[in-house]
Structure 1
């Protein structure tokens, strides 16, 4: 049957020789597949963005990929191969590595005599590709195939190996994948630390409590000082100028990991369809897990635009977002790689701004981080506090750290990379549950800078108590793991970052972890106000109590100032009255960190999934950011 179809394709090819070299646009119009008026618009757009007409025709849904493929076959005088009609010969598929095939959009299909039929989805690039083939490949003839067919066949044949490579892309020295493999030295250290704490608790409890108090106070003071320094480093806020695209804008690939998403798919398509970047230069990849039948069935019922596609990640030892990103990255070819989450609603001109800012930035700017905000801050008290916290983080702290030249721990979404930079640093650590923060540190260690960009993505605030605790425990667990990974070789980290950035990283990560973990020590001073005995009564003289009171009030004042300043730089000024209530919000993080510590001991790579689509925007259009 395959030979019959192959002979039929060759016969059709022979009949079409007369049309070889005819412009693809003319072929599509002559065959009645595209109206002349539509083709005129496609040709104008292709000229404007410097891209081939077929790419525009497909992206704008003027003609189907299959119609364009047939027209390309006539133009190039090449045979069309389809996996359903003419399956490739397994004996020749491995002539080229799958990574090479994905990079160049080709696949060895079969031999006809001594000649290799090499299927390609990018016929314009084929002449240059011939010089990259191994010398022993033999005679090669170009055939055409859909890129979706090439990807499907590579995934079916080499998906397991590619998935295993995705788990270990980051070198072992920079990964946390050995966290659950204890060594004799590590066990000895842990036993000694536990023994010392136990002895102090039994023999000198006041010393143990005093030590914990010093650590808690020190972390509190350092974290508040860092916030003030970040605030002072910020430039005056000005209105962002409209983005101006370069003369030949690049292809941008956007990865959107999905897992157990039933209610968000249709909304996601609508929100990403608002993007104003040329659709012919936009490649949105929805990344699915093999065992997630629910999301696959949901997407099967959803009409995806031509510039949006799906990639399914084979099962493996871990099921994490960074592993999925590493796998899907190999199936993209964008010069810029971006990440969105399932519930994201980016500003319509966001990709335009990304491209323009990368174009105007020096080469050492490897990453751009956008501003994250919420579209449901009025849902309840928890969403109000979460919105204030996000405003403080993305509008004050991160921009301040970037301006100071310190390490910027990335957010998990609305983050964009130069492709070559991602390849140099080794992608994401597949085992780290805060792969974003970890990648931010590795970018800095490789000499790359992360800049903030004035573009907003709105997303859904997690506003239910236990899901909030679960999400925050994953973040804190990942923060602890990230700190451990990069500090376990402190001299190397110092050499990579330099003293200023080394100190900044230690302050940022350790104060976050210590503050939440030792917060009960600070809460203990409520005992004094209630007239109850305190473990350190013997040392709490009046000057000491006054000093502690001054520290606590100063820290609270800094938190209020940062919250108010962050809201002043956001559209949420109506939340001013809620800033003082943050003192009751942050203690929830203490519950989360003890859950995180327990999980780190039991299952450090467990990904506690946050469910999306549970809280709608406060009002119609609330998921459309009006400004930064």
Structure 2
């Protein structure tokens, strides 16, 4: 075994808290509060003091060096060469918070953040296979050193890992040759059919459209019934929350991608600080983009506590949220991880609920989806429609999919994961602009499951029309990418998801796209036919076929409007109920976004249209 050397007289002198107290770095009250927190959570005192904002990590490191009789080294002021850092593999260095900083003959000098962690010292020395001399540094210094040395490696992994491991499941290629060929053949046959036998073709199209509408409506009706009658959601009770032993809580990583978010950043930091979870067990990563210095500068001015870590993603293509998430996941240290967006306000007990829910769920559940709702739902008509839509989605459709074992396309945030399982799956696809829905499908294809649990995250409903259209264009374009990627070879998809999973994928992903694209065409034809009774339309669409399609259209639209209203009513959002009944007006906007998304799919498939946040704050300021 490699030698682990320690200086003589290492027997600990004063406790860490007393050293900090003697130096005047903490007050007696602060130390007492930290010790009480330590009694409940069992965490290291130094991490607790840093997470509470009482002292910075360098002060703790200097005190630990004094306590253990070891030298202290400031890695930011005296950075070690990259070739020395690479003597220890990145995974070991990150896991045990240790980096080589010097070599003296056969002895490697290693900087560690916690010299009291004997298991870590033994593991690092064994990995190096050489005698080791220890020095102490700050935890943040170690992470920043690793990011400096491995920055290009992290970036390459963030944008290429899934593509290299599973190119068949990456959206890097929008259309395969086979898909383009099939589309061209279908269009050619349709065109020829309309020229040769227009009436039979249009009758067949009418019947097909009517059948699709009826099938989609029946599926959503079934999901609604199952959601209302099933108790399959993982329910965490108040008693379970009160009974949880904080010493058993694992480290939890929170990934928050930020890009031009100065309006909402202060509220975000407040929401994360309000989470009821031991702060020393939180690994909060605020992920900034290199070409957004304003948000990073504001975050530094706000000076959040030490368990908030800043990561800066190097500029590079593609510029997407999933690339930023991958960059953060590489450096995540938590057993579990969750994604929040810049404007999110999760319920304070959400992380504890997620831990309990994971422990209660079957072992194949590797993801938990919280419900999403809005805190500005009554701002205007658009936010009320958005609220009704989210209520039917998160309170009826997704619980119904959960109850029936269907594929759950994840929401964009408040997805809680077992960290190693996300890495196993290749993490998020940086080329898919709805990386959440895609990951939900890949998770199901790998034999894992997503479960819903009883917690809600509140976010900002888009209140400005152009901003909403940009956001919804991106969402629908990403769903198109997701459908195309997983339908490259339907055979394996059917085998991996099973018959019901395959059908639910077609209904929820494909059906949503189909309805959004088809609605305006059918509405136009129906309106023109009823108003003008054009002979050309009557010639192509005989009465029975046309009426069948119209009935399916009306019944389908009525059912979806009813689901909007019901979802809002179940949430107690009574002002949104009547807007749910007027949902067809909202769906016209959805169709505008869908056709725009289809156009963008061809000309710029990987372009990420930024959603502006904080519009509700601007409205509040204007009305004040």
Q: Is the shorter-chain TM-score for this pair beyond 0.5, marking a shared fold?
A: yes
Q: Which moved more, 1:234-243 or 1:526-535?
A: 234-243
Give yes or no for contact 1:120–1:126 (8 Å, CA) kept in 2. no
Structure 1 residue aligned with 2:3: none
Deviations 1:282-340 (A, max 9, x none): 22211011122232222233222222221011123211111111111122211110000
Hey, what's the Cα distance between the residues in 2 that align with 1:404 and 1:496? 16
Q: Does 1:26 align with 2:32?
A: no
Give yes or no for contact 2:203–2:541 (8 Å, CA) kept in 1. no
Structure 2 residue aligned with 1:316: 316
Give yes or no for contact 1:378–1:618 (8 Å, CA) kept in 2. no
Task: Give the Å deviation of 1:22.
Answer: 3.5
Give yes or no for contact 1:256–1:340 (8 Å, CA) kept in 2. yes
* SS class of match (2:248): coil
Q: Does 1:179 align with 2:173?
A: yes
More helix by percentage: 2
What stretches of structure 1 of length at least 5 have no aligned partner? Answer: 1-12, 621-628
Hey, what's the Cα distance between the residues in 1 that align with 2:186 and 2:116? 64
Q: Which moved more, 1:354-363 or 1:548-557?
A: 548-557
Q: Does 1:218 align with 2:211?
A: yes
Hey, what's the Cα distance between the residues in 1 that align with 2:493 and 2:541? 40
Hey, what's the Cα distance between the residues in 1 that align with 2:226 and 2:23? 62
Q: Does 1:167 align with 2:168?
A: no
Give yes or no for contact 2:411–2:437 (8 Å, CA) kept in 1. yes
Q: Does 1:538 align with 2:539?
A: yes
Hey, what's the Cα distance between the residues in 1 that align with 2:535 and 2:476? 29
* SS class of match (1:149): helix
With over 3 angstroms needed to count, the CA separation of the structure-2 counterparts of 1:264 and 1:425, relative to structure 1, is same
Hey, what's the Cα distance between the residues in 2 that align with 1:379 and 1:208? 47
Task: Give the Å deviation of 1:105.
Answer: 1.7
Hey, what's the Cα distance between the residues in 1 that align with 2:565 and 2:504? 24
Deviations 1:210-256 (A, max 9, x none): 45434433332222212211111125699963224345111111101
Q: 2:93 aligns with which of 90, 101, 119?
A: 101
Give yes or no for contact 1:81–1:143 (8 Å, CA) kept in 2. yes
Give yes or no for contact 1:102–1:330 (8 Å, CA) kept in 2. no
Structure 2 residue aligned with 1:4: none
* SS class of match (2:305): coil
Q: Does 1:326 align with 2:318?
A: no
Structure 2 residue aligned with 1:550: 551
Q: Does 1:195 align with 2:195?
A: no
Q: Does 1:227 align with 2:220?
A: yes
Task: Give the Å deviation of 1:93.
Answer: 1.7
Give yes or no for contact 1:373–1:456 (8 Å, CA) kept in 2. yes
Q: Does 1:154 align with 2:146?
A: yes
Deviations 1:95-126 (A, max 9, x none): 12333322332211111332111112233435
* SS class of match (2:117): helix
* SS class of match (2:249): coil
RMSD: 2.6
Give yes or no for contact 1:336–1:418 (8 Å, CA) kept in 2. yes
* SS class of match (1:453): strand
* SS class of match (2:283): strand
Hey, what's the Cα distance between the residues in 2 that align with 1:433 and 1:178? 11
TM-score (normalised: structure 1): 0.90
Structure 1 residue aligned with 2:467: 467
Q: Does 1:111 align with 2:111?
A: no
Task: Give the Å deviation of 1:364.
Answer: 1.5
Hey, what's the Cα distance between the residues in 2 that align with 1:316 and 1:596? 23
Task: Give the Å deviation of 1:482.
Answer: 0.8
Q: Which moved more, 1:62-71 or 1:28-37?
A: 28-37
Hey, what's the Cα distance between the residues in 2 that align with 1:468 and 1:136? 54
Q: 1:66 aligns with which of 38, 47, 58?
A: 58
Q: Which moved more, 1:38-47 or 1:17-26?
A: 17-26
What stretches of structure 2 of length at least 5 have no aligned partner? Answer: 1-5
